[in-house]
Chains A and B, each alone.
Chain A
Amino acid sequence: MVGVPSRHRSLVLLAGVILLQVLLLAVQIKRDSQGRLIRVWTVGAVSPFERAGSYGFGWFRNVWHHYFALQNTTKENEQLRRENEALKLQIAQLQGKAAEADRLAVLLNFRKTHAEVPMVGARVIGASAGSASQTIQLDRGERDGIRRNMGVITPDGVVGKVVEVYPNTSQVLLLTDKESGVGAMLADSRIQSPVGGVGEPLLTMKYVPNDDTVNLGERVITSGMDRIFPRDLPVGIIAEIKPGNPFKEIRIKPAANLERLEEVLVLLTLHPLEMKKDAEPAGAQPVASNPSPVVR
């Protein structure tokens, strides 16, 4: 025997001979309900490897399915995420369109209730480039009949007046601008006083004597005295009242949401206007008719 020391040869031979006979025994012995012993041994010897292989394969398959095969899942997730984002965007667009439709419907209803007033709908396409002024840019201009000093409103209330006109666009000075102003009066007491901006979200009402009674939350409407806006358009509500010298310091929250304007109406006249008394622009309900903002 090569590589085995002579003194160990007999031991190796002994082991080999015994092993051979054990195998011989195993081939012959048949155990109850378990078949021949050699089969029992073979199964017993092989099954751990099979089990290990099975576990190993299961582990590999698990790893494959949960990690490597997830490449497809990742792609699928990515695709679903994109679809989800697209759907979200679509929903947002639809919600925006629905809101726009509602706003246009309100504008249309406003026009119907003020049919005697020529007006044109316009979309806000820009705002002032700096904080020094409070202006917005409209998508309609001189070609649409817009001129300087025309009033700009929404169904909610007064927005401002046109200060610059270009062929296809126009610029509107908002009520909140320092240079802006509108003839107004208190809806209940009928006290008249111009309302102007101070460069802040709230407006200020000037020239109300300290002796006059003014209540918080009281509505302020246009008086028509400025010859730009018709009477009784909502300007805002009184938010703060402080005694001053010689006039009260009254702050008004604008009726129109001047910080989020999207569509407006431009009053196409430079002559004094008279609005109907029964007009309720702010409470107008949307209608399902053609929501075209252009209403001349």
Chain B
Amino acid sequence: MHDAYEIRGAESHIEVHKFRAGAIIIATLLALVIQAWFPLHLMRAAILDLPLLVTIYFGLSRRNPSTGLLLGMVIGLLQDSLSGPTVPLGLYGIAKTIIGYLASSIGARLDTEHPLARFALTAGFFVVHQGVIVLTRRILLGQPEPWFNLHLAVAAFINAVVAVFLFLLLDRLRKPS
């Protein structure tokens, strides 16, 4: 069994990575637990969206849209479940499903191994993720929320920075090619 294989595009060869057994599940659960636990002790940590970063990372790495969107859906629904009764099931689910799909699709076309690319992509995905959430809240929940503000811009920047280092950490879960 190959640990990694290539997607042959028109001009470039994109590597698809495999991960150690249970790596995705463990990383996802850890991200959710930390996300739920960390803000209890550090309020400013709530600005981080670790489940989103995990979704982006595995989407970019696996580079399979179907797998990516399903993983995003599962992570999002779990996050919804852990977010209390004020967050309906599906709010993060929808957003992370879309992000999982986009990340997988973009990862299959671009080289996303470079830290700068990861930074930019994460910042962009964060904005899209936030946009989907606001859209869902506005349309489905009838809750007026700002589309974007300085706080969200800072959050996008911080998440992107964190993502660069987190992704390096997660790279260690890959099977060696």
Contact = CB atoms under 8 A, between A and B. Distances in A.
Interface of A: 9-11, 13-14, 17-18, 21-22, 24-26, 28-29, 31, 37
Contacts of B97: 14, 17-18, 21
Contacts of B51: none
16 contacts: A10-B64, A10-B69, A11-B65, A13-B69, A14-B65, A14-B69, A14-B98, A17-B69, A18-B98, A21-B73, A21-B76, A21-B77, A21-B94, A24-B93, A25-B136, A26-B140
A13 B65 CA distance: 9
Contacts of B142: 31
B91 A25 contact: yes
Interface of B: 64-66, 69-70, 73, 76-77, 88-91, 93-94, 97-98, 101, 104-105, 136, 140-142
Contacts of B98: 14, 18
Contact of A29 (B76, B105, B141): B141
Nearest to B64: A10
Given A10-B65, A14-B101, A22-B140, 6 more contacts: A9-B66, A10-B101, A18-B94, A21-B97, A28-B90, A29-B88
A30 to B, nearest CB: 10
Contacts of A9: 66
B89 A24 contact: yes
Given A10-B65, A29-B140, A37-B140, A22 B90 contact: yes
Contacts of A37: 140
Contacts of B77: 21
A24 B81 CA distance: 13
Contact of A25 (B69, B90, B101, B105): B90
Contacts of A21: 73, 76-77, 89-90, 93-94, 97
Contacts of B88: 24-25, 28-29
B8 to A, nearest CB: 15
A14 to B, nearest CB: 5
9 A-B pairs with the lowest CB-CB distances in the bound complex, closest first:
A10-B65, A21-B90, A25-B90, A28-B88, A24-B90, A21-B93, A10-B66, A21-B94, A14-B101
A10 B136 CA distance: 22
A22 B136 CA distance: 9
Nearest to B93: A21
Contacts of B104: 10
A21 B74 CA distance: 11
B56 to A, nearest CB: 16
A9 B91 CA distance: 24
Contacts of A31: 142
Contacts of B105: 10
Nearest to B91: A25
B86 to A, nearest CB: 11
Contacts of A24: 88-90, 93
B26 to A, nearest CB: 23
A116 B65 CA distance: 132
Contacts of B141: 25, 29
A14 B95 CA distance: 11
Contacts of A17: 69-70, 73, 97
B104 to A, nearest CB: 8
Looking at B77, B90, B97, B101, the one whose CB has the most chain A CB atoms below 10 A away is: B90
